Amino acid sequence: MLLTVRDLKKTYPGAEGPAPVLRGVDLDLAAGESLALTGESGSGKSTLLHLVGGLDRPDGGQIALDGEELSVLDDAGRARLRRGTVGVIFQQFNLIPSLDVAANIAFQARLAGRHDAARDAQLAEALGLAPHLAKYPEQLSGGQQQRVAIARTLSAAPRLVLADEPTGNLDEATAAHVLEAMLALVTGSGAALLMVTHSQALAARLDRRLHLTGGRLA
């Protein structure tokens, strides 16, 4: 198993006392597998991605990535994991305005010491970014910026890709096309994809589907 989650719990402090969001989540994801995570707004999908990505700490339970238990890692260890094993695609693109598209795509891979120009060219082609490589983020549409953010994460070749509505800014046809490209690039290379989506049509394209409700997965 690439990812194993057991009895994961997370509670946020709320105005009316502690508000449990995750009440014991169990999840397994194998290398090469894709999993869609659905659930109502506020059900805790982003919270789960943040915990698995090591961006926040759970209140209880275990998360193991490649057999390595996250809770025993210090900040430096979790940062190493974020640079190496895990890649996240968030709803905010966080592109670097002073870098052109090609340099934005290469950014994380360069940080991780894994930049591969041929892989970037393949990503740009697959995601329809080839004509835009010399442009700057402010010259791109929202959907184009979103595709740059996807390419930047995949460029670093993470073993596990965590994606929060990665095609949320795209029209239906482009979203379907970009998802197919992502699936081919991620699972085709033996990596795994855990993707949050509100779209049942997109969820159906992935290997498995889980629904988050009442703080648990079903």
Ligand X SMILES: Nc1ncnc2c1ncn2[C@@H]1O[C@H](COP(=O)(O)OP(=O)(O)OP(=O)(O)O)[C@@H](O)[C@H]1O
Residue 134 tokens, joined: 């010399």
Under the binding rule (CB under 6 A), the answer on residue 46 touching ligand X is yes
Q: Is 111 left (phi over 0), alpha (psi -120 to 50) or beta?
A: alpha
**Total residues contacting ligand X (rule CB under 6 A)?**
10
Under the binding rule (CB under 6 A), the answer on residue 41 touching ligand X is yes
Alpha helices in the chain (DSSP H): 45-52, 75-84, 101-111, 117-126, 142-155, 172-187, 200-203
Stretch that binds ligand X, among 43-51, 62-70, 122-130, 145-153 (CB under 6 A): 43-51
Q: How far is the CB of 165 from ligand X (least distance, A)?
A: 7
Q: Is 192 left (phi over 0), alpha (psi -120 to 50) or beta?
A: beta
Residue placing its CB nearer to ligand X in the complex, 86 or 105: 86
Residue placing its CB nearer to ligand X in the complex, 43 or 169: 43
Under the binding rule (CB under 6 A), the answer on residue 108 touching ligand X is no
Contact 88, 166 (CB under 8 A): no
Q: How far is the CB of 169 from ligand X (least distance, A)?
A: 14
Per CB under 6 A, residues contacting ligand X are 12, 21, 39, 41-47
